[in-house]
Amino acid sequence: MAQSVVEVMEDAKGKVQENLLANGADLTSFVTHFEWDMAKYPAKQPLVSIADTLAKQLAQIETDLKSRTAAYSVLKTNLENLEKKSTDIVSKEDFVLDSEYLVTLLVIVPKPSYAQWQKTYESLSDMVVPRSTKLIAEDNEGGLFTVTLFTVREFYYDEKEIKREREEMTRLLSDKKQQYQTSCVALKKGSSTFRDHKVKVTPLGNPDRPAAGQNDRERESEGEGEALRVFVESVLRYGLPVNFQAVLLQPHKKSSTKRLREVLNSVFRHLDEVAATSILDASVEIPGLQLSNQDYFPYVYFHIDLGLLD
Inter-residue contact 61 to 69 (CB < 8 Å):
no
Inter-residue contact 17 to 306 (CB < 8 Å):
no
Highest mean pLDDT among 7-11, 43-47, 77-81, 195-199: 43-47
pLDDT digits (tens, 9 = 90+) for 96-126: 888 888 889 999 999 999 999 999 999 988 8
Give dist(CA 9, CA 174) in Å, integer.
15
Q: Is residue 294 part of a domain?
A: yes
Considering only CA atoms, which of 249, 200, 250, 188 is closest in space to residue 26?
188
Q: Is residue 243 part of a domain?
A: no
Q: Which amino acid is at 222?
A: E
Inter-residue contact 275 to 286 (CB < 8 Å):
yes
Domain end point (choices 119, 150, 181): 150
Helical spans, DSSP H, in the chain:
2-8, 16-19, 27-32, 47-84, 114-120, 159-189, 216-224, 228-238, 257-267, 273-280
Considering only CA atoms, which of 296, 236, 248 is closest in space to residue 272?
296
From 47-61, 102-116, 132-146, 195-209, the region with the lowest mean pLDDT = 195-209
Q: Is residue 26 part of a domain?
A: no
Inter-residue contact 302 to 226 (CB < 8 Å):
no
33 φ, ψ to 5°?
-115, 25
Give dist(CA 166, CA 157) in Å, integer.
14
3-state secondary structure at position 206: coil
**Which residues span the domain enclosing 261?**
249-309
Residue 300: pLDDT over 80: yes
If you average pLDDT over every residue of the chain, what do you get?
Answer: 76
Neighbours of 33 (CB within 10 A): 15
User: Which of the pair, 131 or 255, is modelled with greater confidence?
Assistant: 131
What's the mean pLDDT in 69-75? 87
Residue 248: pLDDT over 90: no
Q: Is residue 282 part of a domain?
A: yes
Residue 91: pLDDT over 80: yes
Domain end point (choices 150, 174, 207): 150
pLDDT reported for residue 280: 52
What's the mean pLDDT in 148-158? 71
Compute the Cα dihedral for 75, 78, 82, 83 and give only its sign: positive
pTM of the model: 0.42
Q: Is residue 136 part of a domain?
A: yes
Measure Cα distances from 286 to 233, 261, 275, 289 in Å: 17, 19, 7, 6
Compute the Cα dihedral for 199, 201, 203, 208 and give only its sign: negative
Q: Is residue 87 part of a domain?
A: no
What CATH code is carried by the domain that includes residue 128?
A: 3.30.70.100
Q: Is residue 259 part of a domain?
A: yes
Q: Total domain count for the chain?
A: 2
pLDDT reported for residue 132: 93
Q: Is residue 90 part of a domain?
A: no
